[in-house]
Amino acid sequence: MARRPNAHSFEPGEGENDQLIYGLKSKVTTLKSLSLDMGDEIKYQNAFLNELDKDADSTFGSLSANINRIKRLSRSGGCKFYFLLIGFTLFVFLFIYMMIYK
């Protein structure tokens, strides 16, 4: 009759348990470090996004103010508005042309 192995013979020895515990502690420490680094990066990114949002709001405010000025100019009528608009457009295209080909 074959003898059945003892249930305790499959358990790792105390030295193996210590090695497993050390490996587990190492992995937990690594995960903790990664999570703390991720938290720091998230805080940095949130601050950056908040600053970017403020800049975008400021730019939008300036743009809407300029659009309102253009509307007022166009309502006032006359050729002056159209000459200014054509001159500004030519200036922008000339500036872009010089930046691209120089």
Domain-located, residue 33: yes
Domain-located, residue 87: no
Domain-located, residue 53: yes
Residue 36 CB partners (closer than 8 Å, separation 6+): none
Q: Are 81 and 73 in contact (CB under 8 A)?
A: yes
Higher pLDDT, 80 or 5: 80
Q: What is the DSSP letter of 2?
A: P
pLDDT of 1-31, one tens digit each?
A: 455 555 445 566 788 888 999 999 999 999 9
Q: 55: domain range?
A: 14-76
Task: Compute the distance between CA of residue 92 and CA of residue 89 in angstroms, rounded to an integer.
Answer: 5
Angle at which helix 14-76 crosses helix 79-101, to 10 degrees, equals 140
